[in-house]
Amino acid sequence: MSVEENTVHYDSPAGGWGSVRGIAEVFGKEWATPLATETLFRQNKPKGFMCVSCSWAKPANYHPFEFCENGAKATLWELTTRRCTPDFFGKHTLTELRGWSDYELEQQGRLTHPMRFDRASDRYVPCGWDEAFREIGSELRRLDPKSVVFYSSGRASLETSYLYALFARLYGNNNLPDSSNMCHETTSVALKKVIGASVGTVVFDDLSTCDAMFFFGQNTGTNSPRFLHPLQEASKRGVRIITFNPVRERGLESFTNPQSPVEMLTGKATPISTQYHQVRPGGDIAVMLGLCKHVFAADDAAKARGERVLDVDFIAQHTTGLEAFEARVRATSWEEIERESGISRADIEAAGQVYVEAERVCAFYGMGLTQHVHGFENVAMVVNLLLLKGNIGRDGTGVSPVRGHSNVQGQRTVGISEKPELVPLDRLAEQFGFDPPREKGVNTVEACEGILSGEIRSFIGLGGNFVRAIPDQDRMEKAWTGMRLTVQVATKLNRSHLVNGEIAYLLPCLGRTEEDRQASGPQAVSIEDTFSCIYGSLGRRTPASDFLKSEVAIVAGMAKATLAPNPKAPWDAWTGDYGLIRDAIARTYREEFHDFNDRLWIPGGFYRGNSARERIWKTESGKAEFTAPEVLSATGFSDEPGRYRLITMRSNDQFNTTIYGYSDRLRGIEGTRDVLLMNPDEIRRAGLSDGQVVSLVSDAGDGITREVTGLTVTPFSLPDGCLGAYYPEMNPLMALSHHDIQSGTPAAKSVPVRIRPEAGGPKRDRREPTGHSAHPI
């Protein structure tokens, strides 16, 4: 399918002048002030600070400007001169603020003072840090540890994350859900099961040695734009890039490097994908079965010539389960595959032929695979495909889940996990002289269930915007107020700060770009990227307010006020010198983090290692496992007349729930996020028209009414039977129970919904002026 003439779309390549204008539009002229450029110049480089946006690699051979449009936006967002002060909170009740948009809330700028919720006036009032820690500590001591949740969003450093997880365990639980439970948890569970390593096997250098790349449901141009540089180089090298995505994402079509004067002046764009297939949402299992079917057919033909396509030696030595898998593939007909995937046999065979011919294949994927009811099977299918030709554990090959938050992978590495089996509890026991809790903790969905049932009485949030990021937002907000204690550690105001327990604190912290001065001097922190490389990060900017504390200091402050004194857990000394925290990490995780302090500034980071890359399979069988999928569709529900598969999407003008502006430039959607995207035939079939205003209602079939109103029907190139609309605006439509069966990851890429035309709803002009003001820095 090509981009139809009559749909909303963007003709220019990703990157290019549009990306520079994108930065300027959000931040005004000031984005180019010496202070800002000086800071951006140090982004993602040794002795600089590591981007607060995505988790893409920070290469040793860096570019002069090792940042992208979105990294620049994220940095400038933190450097804003706007301040959200006690004065602001004095003027607005929380009830009033709950009527504000995500954009308006964060526009208020950086939080400056620790604040306590005052129920009588329905306002936040300033408080002292000691007072806050004292009350949090005494409340936590009174609560049953099983009823307390310690959430983290994937941004906090390795040092903070290690202390936070330790705090929870010393306190008495493994209730450590994190944003990854809504994101790549599917990966952690599936890759662990089938290759024995919960993270990807690809490293940065593989990008320059592979000869084919397969992309499933990852939007590079928007979500990890610095990846476009190696992709561009790969494309120029003749690497064949095959993309499966319901949406024709600009960055996977073509790219103009904004850092190349020649390309910028000539407007020359590099095509990225050699084949682009608009799979139906949830259709990837079928696609990959089709690809494998073609590989088996090619192998049959080769055998007749006395050759093989399959890597039979690798399969024999390293894998198990081929027989059952092959039987499943051969038993699946092309008719079924075409129906479920929405892609023709000829197109799948053409993609399969690239796989057959390539010697070294890397497969990349993102939320398009993980956020489905059968997300596990999606990920297992990627591995099945790769195993057929030994495409794991050789240079230029491998599986690459492209991670989201800048340290989401690293948090897991240092103990943030609700699964006790993933944490070296015996070492913690010895190191800190206690008996760590062995019972499984709650993940994100289970935490929500506990809040709904009243079993969870307290929520501590280390960053993030939990209430806005989870499913079933309306129900969750109502239940939230039943909790006894809620604490949010944050840089900017968001909706999660406006729904509170009986006692509630909002604690403002330093950002990663800011100088973090403690007893022993300025402190560095560290993070791990999507390729398992670990780097130091040093902030130098003057903090947004004198009253901020670092995340380390806040976690240590809460821990000290809650726990009995333990000389083996020196919270004050740790706060005074983060090198001591790194020493503690190195003692717990000896293999990965030995000589941590010495290796902090190695250019390009130090590699934590991955057994599967060495073809050592830490699985139950001791081999890499083929998995025969039991379903063909990943959606978990059947097709019925009037029921659609809703994809919740991110624009390049947002970072998760942080909305920078209303310009989804790469998709040609400007001035509003209240759109419902569908293809023109589907609009006609549904009896709707372009510009009509409609509501969406949940079709989860559980009797609960969930609704989002005021969406403008907008023609857009999408497969039949599906709809697109923005995250987080659509989250009230998602049932909490609609998640990947194995990992609990909410299934945000196929939400069952119905359309309800709004009575007498006005036709709207889609392209209202953007209306957002420049954001000073």
Ligand X SMILES: Nc1nc2c(c(=O)[nH]1)N[C@H]1C(S)=C(S)[C@@H](COP(=O)(O)OP(=O)(O)OC[C@H]3O[C@@H](n4cnc5c(=O)[nH]c(N)nc54)[C@H](O)[C@@H]3O)O[C@H]1N2
User: Quick one: which of 52, 140, 183, 718 contacts Mo ion (CB under 5 A)?
Assistant: 183
Minimum distance between the CB of residue 257 and Mo ion, rounded to whole angstroms? 26
Q: What are phi and psi of 507, to 5 degrees?
A: -110, 115
Q: For residue 368, state whether it binds Mo ion (rule: CB under 5 A).
A: no
Minimum distance between the CB of residue 582 and ligand X, rounded to whole angstroms? 19
Task: Locate all alpha helices (DSSP H) within 14-128, ordered by sequence.
Answer: 16-27, 34-41, 69-79, 86-91, 94-97, 102-107
Minimum distance between the CB of residue 762 and ligand X, rounded to whole angstroms? 27
Give pairs for 424-430: CB < 8 Å, separation 24+: 424/588, 424/589, 425/169, 427/587, 427/588, 428/166, 428/169, 428/588
Residue nearest to Mo ion (CB): 404
C-beta separation of 143 from 485 below 8 A: yes
Pairwise CA distance, residues 234 & 211, whole Å: 8
Minimum distance between the CB of residue 586 and ligand X, rounded to whole angstroms? 24
The pattern of x and - marking residues 583 through 622 that bind Mo ion according to CB under 5 A reads: ----------------------------------------
In 10 A of CB 497, how many CB atoms? 24
3-state secondary structure 179-239: HHHHCCHHHHHHHHHHHCCCCCCCCHHHHHCCCEEEEECCCHHHHCHHHHHHHHHHHHCCC
Q: For residue 652, state whether it binds ligand X (rule: CB under 6 A).
A: yes
Residue nearest to ligand X (CB): 366
Minimum distance between the CB of residue 695 and ligand X, rounded to whole angstroms? 17
652 binds, among ligand X, Mo ion, none (CB under 5 to 8 A by kind): ligand X
Pairwise CA distance, residues 480 & 486, whole Å: 9
Q: For residue 404, state whether it binds Mo ion (rule: CB under 5 A).
A: yes
Q: For residue 730, state whether it binds ligand X (rule: CB under 6 A).
A: yes
DSSP codes joined into one string, 703-736: S---EEEEEEEEE----TTEEEEETTTTGGGS-T
Near ligand X in 658-717, by CB under 6 A: 658
- Which of these segments, 39-47, 346-354, 615-623, 648-656, binds ligand X (CB under 6 A)? 648-656
615 vs 643, beta carbon nearer ligand X: 643
- Which of these segments, 260-268, 432-440, 529-537, 643-651, binds ligand X (CB under 6 A)? 643-651
Q: In 3D, which of 279, 226, 218 has the Cα closest to residue 69? A: 226
Task: Locate all alpha helices (DSSP H) within 251-321, ordered by sequence.
Answer: 261-266, 284-304, 312-318
DSSP codes joined into one string, 589-657: SHHHHTTHHHHTT-TT-EE---GGGGT---SSSSSEE----S-S-SSSS---TT-EEEEEE--TTEETT
The pattern of x and - marking residues 444 through 483 that bind ligand X according to CB under 6 A reads: ------------------xxxxx--x--------------
Q: For residue 551, state whether it binds ligand X (rule: CB under 6 A).
A: yes
Minimum distance between the CB of residue 221 and ligand X, rounded to whole angstroms? 9
Q: What are phi and psi of 628, to 5 degrees?
A: -85, 110
Question: How many residues in the shown chain lie near ligand X by CB under 6 A?
Answer: 61
Q: In 3D, which of 430, 488, 478, 429 has the Cα closest to residue 458? A: 488
592 binds, among Mo ion, ligand X, none (CB under 5 to 8 A by kind): none
658 binds, among ligand X, Mo ion, none (CB under 5 to 8 A by kind): ligand X
Minimum distance between the CB of residue 79 and ligand X, rounded to whole angstroms? 12
223 vs 513, beta carbon nearer Mo ion: 223
Which helix (H) or strand (E) segment is 420 a member of? none
463 binds, among ligand X, Mo ion, none (CB under 5 to 8 A by kind): ligand X
Cβ-count burial of 249 within 10 angstroms (0-12 exposed, 13-18 middle, 19+ buried)? Answer: buried
70 binds, among ligand X, Mo ion, none (CB under 5 to 8 A by kind): ligand X
User: Quick one: which of 256, 473, 648, 712 contacts ligand X (CB under 6 A)?
Assistant: 648
153 binds, among ligand X, Mo ion, none (CB under 5 to 8 A by kind): ligand X
Minimum distance between the CB of residue 413 and Mo ion, rounded to whole angstroms? 16
Q: For residue 182, state whether it binds ligand X (rule: CB under 6 A).
A: yes
223 binds, among ligand X, Mo ion, none (CB under 5 to 8 A by kind): ligand X
C-beta separation of 195 from 205 below 8 A: no
- What torsion, rounded to 10 degrees, do the Cα atoms 267, 270, 276, 282 define? -90
C-beta separation of 89 from 50 below 8 A: no
Half-sphere exposure of 134 toward its Cβ, with a 13 Å CA cutoff?
5
352 vs 368, beta carbon nearer ligand X: 368
- Which of these segments, 193-201, 322-330, 360-368, 452-460, binds ligand X (CB under 6 A)? 360-368
In 10 A of CB 46, how many CB atoms? 17
User: Quick one: which of 162, 216, 355, 535 contacts ligand X (CB under 6 A)?
Assistant: 216
Pairwise CA distance, residues 163 & 432, whole Å: 12
The pattern of x and - marking residues 400 through 419 that bind ligand X according to CB under 6 A reads: --x-xx--------------
User: Quick one: which of 256, 257, 491, 695 contacts ligand X (CB under 6 A)?
Assistant: 491
Question: How many residues in the shown chain lie near Mo ion by CB under 5 A?
Answer: 2
Minimum distance between the CB of residue 584 and ligand X, rounded to whole angstroms? 21
Strands 503-508 and 517-518: unpaired
Minimum distance between the CB of residue 605 and ligand X, rounded to whole angstroms? 19
Residue 366: partners with Cβ closer than 8 Å, 6 or more residues away: 216, 217, 218, 219, 223, 401, 402
Pairwise CA distance, residues 351 & 334, whole Å: 15
Near ligand X in 618-637, by CB under 6 A: none
Task: Report the interface residues with ligand X, using CB under 6 A.
Answer: 54, 70, 106, 153, 155, 179, 182-183, 216-219, 222-223, 244-247, 249, 279, 281-282, 284, 366-368, 371, 402, 404-405, 462-466, 469, 489-492, 494, 509, 511-512, 551, 647-648, 650, 652, 654-658, 727-728, 730-731, 734, 748-749
Task: Report the interface residues with Mo ion, using CB under 5 A.
Answer: 183, 404
